[in-house]
Amino acid sequence: MDEKGSNYLRELIRVLVRNLGVLEKSDASCCKVTISQCHAIVEIGRVEEISLNELAELLTLDKSTMSRTINKLVEDSLVIRELHPEDRRYVTIKLTDNGKKIFKNIEGTMGKYYKDIFMSIPENKREQILDSLRLLTEAVNENKCC
């Protein structure tokens, strides 16, 4: 049962990730940003300011990939880089007003989408789903691949 169960888990997660990825692509493209830019905008918007290293770690990307993503967002006037007032080696990244508009749009769209999904789950199963996803997230974090 263990192997059969783990194979079924893998299949369920694969389908879920694929379906959610398709959603992200369609929603991100309406904001005129790529998926990686979308993830960066959301994470920056949630904390208001962050360093490149912290953002790369949060999104589990290498610094050079994160740097290219941020460079494009700077070029598109969606984020700005600022030197930290007390440590000039430390650069913070913040959303511009245009970046904040895109962040609010993404959050609004995703908030509605996930609320609709959550509300379509029978009420007596909602806590079970949340608890199961929390356990799954913890197990994934404990068993990082590669």
The string of pLDDT tens digits covering residues 127-142 is 999 999 999 988 888 8
pLDDT for 110 equals: 83
CATH classification number, 2-142, choose in 3.30.450.370, 1.10.10.10, 1.10.760.10, 3.30.70.20: 1.10.10.10
**What's the CA dihedral at 58, 62, 67, 13 to 10 degrees?**
-50
pTM of the model: 0.78
Alpha-carbon separation of residue 43 from 31, 58, 94, 102, 126 (angstroms):
16, 8, 10, 12, 26
Instruction: Give 57-61's long-range contacts (Cβ < 8 A, gap of 24+).
Output: 61/36
pLDDT 10s digits, 65-122: 999 999 999 999 999 998 877 877 788 999 999 999 999 998 888 888 889 989 999 9
Tell me how far apart the alpha carbons of residues 8 and 131 are, in angstroms, rounded to a whole number.
Answer: 19
